[in-house]
Structure formats: structure tokens, C-alpha cells
Amino acid sequence: MESEPVSPISEPDMATSIAMAMAPSSVPSTPPPQPHRQPPSSPPLPTPTILNSPPIDLSLYLVTSSSLLPPGRTLEATVEAAIKGGVTVVQLREKALDTRPFIDLARRIHAITKSYDVPLLINDRVDVALAVGCEGVHIGWDDMDYETARRLLGPTAIIGLSVSSLEQASLAAATTCDYIGVGPVLPTPTKPDASSPLFPSGVRDILASISNTRPLPAVAIGGISATNVQSIVYKSRPHAATPISGIAVVSAIIASDDPESASSDLLTRSRNPPPWAHPPPSQTRIFTDFYLPLILSHAVTTIRTIKEHKPLVHHITNAVVKPISANVTLAVGGSPIMSDVIDEVASLANISPYSGCLINMGTSTPADKALYAAAISENNQAGKPVVFDPVGAGATGMRRDIVTWMLREAGYVDVIKGNEGEIRTVAGQGVQMKGVDSTEAGNLEEMVAVVQEVANRERNIVILTGPVDILSDGTRTVLVRNGHPLQGLITGAGCALGSVLCAALAVSREDKLSSCLAGILAYNIAAERAVAGSRSTITGDVKGTRRPGSFAAAFLDELYEVTEMCLRGEETWTGAVNLEFR
Ligand SMILES: Nc1ncnc2c1ncn2[C@@H]1O[C@H](COP(=O)(O)OP(=O)(O)OP(=O)(O)O)[C@@H](O)[C@H]1O
Ligand SMILES: Cc1ncsc1CCO
């Protein structure tokens, strides 16, 4: 006899999964009411902090540049304030100074750093470090070679090396250097001659490449600011290798009018991963046909939890789809609010333990970037999910620029959902979309690869919608063959799916891919039922439709029916699922 599936979850969560299997109607672990700025407490995040702690504390590494000081501020005052705010290492980098004034400045700065027991390193100039007697140097590949610098400075000096490629990482790992500065992570105006940006995935590759030979302490540098630090530190983290030890910043502190608070804010954020960050693959549900009954049972429970907790879905969305998005949110049991006001984002992110934010750039202008950054930052801080829909991403240069900025600079988005043209654009392929509708369908296998690649790069969930929906968290991938072509004939069918995903994540974030799958299944099976006609459990009527106008109404009705079934614990509707696990 075939044995019963025991668990859709791997080893670490076996007890939970068995409990789930025994009681399919039980509610999945959902976020309990949370205090402000605290992520929900169960299950625990993989690690409380994502920085590595080597012997030198590299947590917050300040690189100076006097030319960026605000008028009237001295470098001495800024360095002292920054140390009070939490800076753990100072590197004096003053490219424009001649030797004598450089040494004079270094002596004054060293007097300050020494009094706080913070190491002072000199950029490039071994002679200046020797003259001042400070703790060490940071050198690049065009400066004095490492061995000579070590011979001159002695075995106890701190020597750091710049690394911007895999090749340089392996050269650095072959030395006895104390740490590496990996970058530029992002394009940065403070080092215009820098090599091309690595982005967090490049930093990750570099850390992983030396993890088996010499896992050096590393600071990430280049374009890091308060808004993107959490996301950069999190996305830079390799799965099975030593993470970065800290972040290096220049303008985020030096150009600040309040370097002490800027430093303490950067330090706090860098030590906290985005709440509900991806669990490692070992802690996620196994997606295979064998576990299908439990995956479906979990989907029903997730939708039921939406109905029970009525999560607030803060929509920052386009003008075209506001009514359908609000109606879809209500039909699945959520509570929609549309607000594009920057002053409201913090309150909305913290108003309820069950909430999330959907950012849809269907009718965006560049002026909306400030609103998006604030919304992402507040929701990241509050532990709330952010869903990003890059509508029309490949249609114009303006849209491409907003997408690039969103993913590099604006903070962490839990889900990116779009049609094929949009997801290909997010992947960096130069597709030309005619408008908001997708490009012609490409090869399925290639699309699967694109979705997996972006999910891996962004360390989040990526969903490509169309006749087949492809969902991936970079490790697990699911193809959903449910839905109906009429969905493509009502505007906003994709946008309103974003509302359902956000509602599902707002109530259940411990396995984000499962939550998204629950939302898509209910949504697309509702569409099929709207076309085929099904007996309403409310009125007893059977009505089908084949035309878009009546489909829109029937779809909303069926979405309500399907989700009400979930509330009653009925799983019959899941008989229609058509899934493929990769
Ligand atoms: N031909 C189809 N067959 C089955 N389902 C479809 C089809 N086309 C779209 N869908 C479904 O419709 C929903 C929206 O996907 P679609 O790719 O049309 O979104 P979109 O282009 O972003 O829409 P919009 O910009 O109008 O909001 C998804 O749930 C998807 O599965
Ligand atoms: C038609 C349209 N134009 C901008 S957004 C939008 C809604 C579907 O995405």
C-alpha cells in the first residue's frame, strides 16, 4: 500500500508539518499581533543578525572624503560624531591632499579615533600610516603591493584590500590581509573611476568563491545608504558561506548634517535583516507531487486566514485598476486602502498586525520614487510584506529607470509579480513592450530560467503571469496552469492578483512561496469557474459566461465563493488545480 505523505516540510519543521497533516483545518502559524517595528515571533528567523563578527569590528566602516562635508563642518567633528553614533573603523581617504597636510590631518583624526579605541586606516599611503603610527592601511591593486606594505608596517598592522572581482578575491585570499572591501556594490558618485557595480549578487558570489579557501572578513562598499542598507546586506548573504562583516559608507555619513544619528541608524539597520526574509531552503516546504494534498490543504488554510484576519492591503497603485483591486481585495476577505500620500505610509504600515503594501507602477512618474522608498522602508521596518508590480516595465525608458532604481536602491520587496515582458525587463533583458500588455509568449523553459534567475538575484519570490504562471523562490519553482484567457481581456486582472498576494502574505509569511501559490490558485480557479459556471453555494444559481463584461462580475462572484469555501474548510475547489513542480 502506498504510504501516506507525512509532511510537505523538510526535517527542521517536521513536527509542525505532522501537526498540520493531522489537522488540515488548523490555521497555519500566522503572525501574532506585533509590537511596533518587531517582526512576528514565530517561526524564528534563520539568524537574528546577518553580519559576521571577525576580530576587527568592521560593522560600520567610515571612509572619509572632506569634499563632501556640509558647509561649516570639519572632518574632525564629523568623525567624532560618527564614532559616537557607532562607527567601528575609520579610513582616511583624502585623494586631493599633499603629503604634509595629509599627515597633519591624519594626526588630528588619529588623536580622536584613538581616544575611542577605534582603528584608523589610511587609504593607499603606507608612508602616511607610518608617519602617524596609526593602526593600518587600506590598499587597492594599483597601490603598493601587499607584501611590501606588510613588510613595512609589520605583522600587527591592519591591512585591507579592495576586491571588485572573483580574480581579485582569490588573489586577496592568498595573502595574509586582515579584511577585504568588496565593491562597488552599486554605482557611486564618490568613486567615479570605480569598476562596474557588483550588485548584491556579485558580492555574494565573491564571498562564496573564497569560503572554502580563506573566508576573509569583508565590508561591502559603494552606494550604500539608510534606505538600501538592509536590503543590500540581506541580498549579499551567501547561503552556505560567511556573510559580510559590515558595510562601508562615505556620503551617507560624511555629507550628513547629523553624522551621529546617520551612523546609529545605519548600524541598526545593517544589523537587522528585512523581517520575514527568506528562510534557507532547509526550512521550507518541499514542493513535489507527493505532497500535493498537503500543499493544497495549506492553501485553503491560508485563504481562510485572510478571511479571518481581514488584512489591510495598502495599495499604491495605478488609476486604471483601483476599483477592481479594491473589489478583489474585499472578495478574498482583505481590507483595501488606496493611498499615495507619503505622510501616511508609516501609520498604514503599523496600524494593524496584519497588513502589507502593494506598489504598482502602472501610472508612475519619477516623482513617485520618494513615496515608494518611504513605503518600502516603513513596511520593511514594520515586518510587513511588500509586493511590487512593475507594470509596463519594458515600455519606456522612464519605466525601466524606475524599475532599476526600485530594485537597487529602494529597499527590499518580498515579491515581484509581472507578465512576461515585465519580468524579462526586471531580469535586464532589453525587451520592448508596446504598453502594459505582455510581449508575445516565449519559450516556457527559458521563462522558467528567467524567473529563477531573478528570484535568486533578488532573494525574493518572482511570479511571471500569463497562460502559465511561473512562481519561484530561487530554489523551488511551480508552474500553475489554471486560469482563463478571458482574464487577459479585463484590465487589471494582473494588478488585482497583486492585491491577493499581498493579503496572503500579510497573514502568512513563514513560507512566502506557499502563500503566493494559495492566492494564485484561488484566483485562477475562480476565473475558470466564472467561465464554466458553478452552482452558487449562496444562491443556488448556475451561471457561466464567455464574454469579458459579464466575466468581470462572475469572476468576482466566484472569487468570493471560493474563498468563502476556504473559510468553511471546504477543499473541493482545489480538485481543479493543475500544477507542475520543478
Ligand atoms: N491565456 C490565459 N490563460 C489562463 N490564465 C491566464 C491567461 N492570461 C492571463 N491569465 C491569468 O490572468 C491573471 C493576470 O495575468 P496577466 O499576465 O494577464 O496580467 P497582466 O498582464 O499583468 O494584467 P494587467 O496589467 O491588466 O493587470 C493571472 O492570474 C494569469 O494566470
Ligand atoms: C491600461 C493601463 N495603463 C497603465 S496601468 C494600466 C492597467 C493595467 O495594467
What is the structure's pLDDT at 6? 32
Low-confidence ranges of the chain (pLDDT < 70): 1-54, 189-194, 240, 275-283, 439-440
DSSP secondary structure, 476-491, as one string:
-EEEE----GGGGGST
Q: Is the CB of 536 under 6 A from ligand 2?
A: no
- Determine the distance separating the centroid of ligand 1 and the alpha carbon of 287, expressed in angstroms: 23
- Of 237, 231, 278, the C-alpha closest to 510 is 278
- Determine the distance separating the centroid of ligand 1 and the alpha carbon of 306, expressed in angstroms: 22
What is the structure's pLDDT at 243? 86
172: left (phi over 0), alpha (psi -120 to 50) or beta: alpha
C-alpha span between 82 and 116 (Å, rounded):
11
The answer to whether residue 134 is catalytic is no
Q: Is the CB of 361 under 6 A from ligand 2?
A: no
- Determine the distance separating the centroid of ligand 2 and the alpha carbon of 388, expressed in angstroms: 15
Q: Which long-range contacts (CB under 8 A, 24 or more apart) does 286-289 make?
A: 286/7, 286/8, 286/9, 286/10, 287/8, 287/476, 287/478, 287/513, 287/581, 288/581, 289/581
Cβ atoms of 246 and 185 closer than 8 Å: no
* Atom 4 of ligand 2, residue of closest alpha carbon: 362
C-alpha span between 182 and 510 (Å, rounded):
31
| Cell representation of residue 548 | 469579458
Ligand number nearest CA of 360 is 2
Ligand 1 binding residues, C-beta < 6 A? 391, 419, 436-438, 465-467, 469, 483-485, 487-488, 491-495, 497, 523-524
Residue position matching grid coordinates 519619477? 366
Cβ atoms of 122 and 145 closer than 8 Å: no
Q: What is the CA angle 459-307-350, rounded to 5?
A: 55
Tell me the CATH architecture of domain 308-511: 3-Layer(aba) Sandwich (3.40)
The closest-lying atom of ligand 2 relative to the alpha carbon of residue 321 is 7
Cβ atoms of 480 and 520 closer than 8 Å: yes
What is the structure's pLDDT at 17? 38
Q: Is the CB of 320 under 6 A from ligand 2?
A: yes
The closest-lying atom of ligand 2 relative to the alpha carbon of residue 492 is 8
Please list the residues that pair with 92 across neighbouring strands. Answer: 122
C-alpha span between 86 and 97 (Å, rounded):
27
Q: Is the CB of 391 under 6 A from ligand 2?
A: yes
* Atom 6 of ligand 1, residue of closest alpha carbon: 467
From 491, 497, 499, give the residue whose CB has the most ligand 2 atoms within 8 Å, as the site to mutate: 491
DSSP secondary structure, 27-69, as one string:
PPP-PPP--TT----SSPPS-S------SS--SEEEE--GGGS
- Of 515, 425, 442, 521, the C-alpha closest to 473 is 515
Helix 292-309 vs helix 512-532: crossing angle, to nearest 10: 90
Give the number of other CB atoms < 10 A from CB of residue 141: 15
| Cell representation of residue 321 | 485598476
Alpha-carbon Rg for the chain in angstroms: 26
* Atom 13 of ligand 1, residue of closest alpha carbon: 494
3-class SS string, 432-462: CCCCCCCCCCCCHHHHHHHHHHHHHHHCCEE
Residue position matching grid coordinates 523562490? 473
What is the structure's pLDDT at 430? 78
From 465, 555, 578, 579, give the residue whose CB has the most ligand 1 atoms within 8 Å, as the site to mutate: 465
3-class SS string, 497-562: HHHHHHHHHHHCCCCHHHHHHHHHHHHHHHHHHHHHCEECCCCCCEECCCCHHHHHHHHHHHHHHH
Q: CB burial class (10 A; 0-12, 13-18, 19+) of residue 267?
A: buried
Topology of 60-271 in CATH?
Answer: TIM Barrel (3.20.20)
The closest-lying atom of ligand 2 relative to the alpha carbon of residue 436 is 9
Cβ neighbours of residue 76 closer than 8 Å, sequence gap 6 or more: 108, 109, 112
* Atom 14 of ligand 1, residue of closest alpha carbon: 494
The closest-lying atom of ligand 1 relative to the alpha carbon of residue 417 is 22
Tell me whether strands 179-182 and 136-139 are parallel, antiparallel or unpaired. Answer: unpaired
Length of the chain: 582
Cβ neighbours of residue 82 closer than 8 Å, sequence gap 6 or more: 62, 90, 253, 259, 260, 262, 263
| Cell representation of residue 150 | 606588510
- Determine the distance separating the centroid of ligand 1 and the alpha carbon of 185, expressed in angstroms: 35
Write down the pTM of the prediction: 0.82
- Determine the distance separating the centroid of ligand 1 and the alpha carbon of 255, expressed in angstroms: 46
Cβ atoms of 562 and 302 closer than 8 Å: no
What is the structure's pLDDT at 545? 87
Q: Is the CB of 468 under 6 A from ligand 2?
A: no
Catalytic choice (134, 177, 495, 502): 495
State the ipTM, two decimals: 0.96
- Determine the distance separating the centroid of ligand 2 and the alpha carbon of 469, expressed in angstroms: 19
The closest-lying atom of ligand 1 relative to the alpha carbon of residue 495 is 27
- Determine the distance separating the centroid of ligand 2 and the alpha carbon of 495, expressed in angstroms: 8
- Determine the distance separating the centroid of ligand 2 and the alpha carbon of 404, expressed in angstroms: 20
The closest-lying atom of ligand 2 relative to the alpha carbon of residue 319 is 5
SS3 label, residue 231: helix
Helix 548-567 vs helix 292-309: crossing angle, to nearest 10: 90
The closest-lying atom of ligand 1 relative to the alpha carbon of residue 466 is 17
What are the domain boundaries of the chain? 60-271, 308-511
Q: Is the CB of 321 under 6 A from ligand 2?
A: yes
Cβ atoms of 173 and 395 closer than 8 Å: no
- Determine the distance separating the centroid of ligand 1 and the alpha carbon of 529, expressed in angstroms: 16
C-alpha span between 365 and 432 (Å, rounded):
19
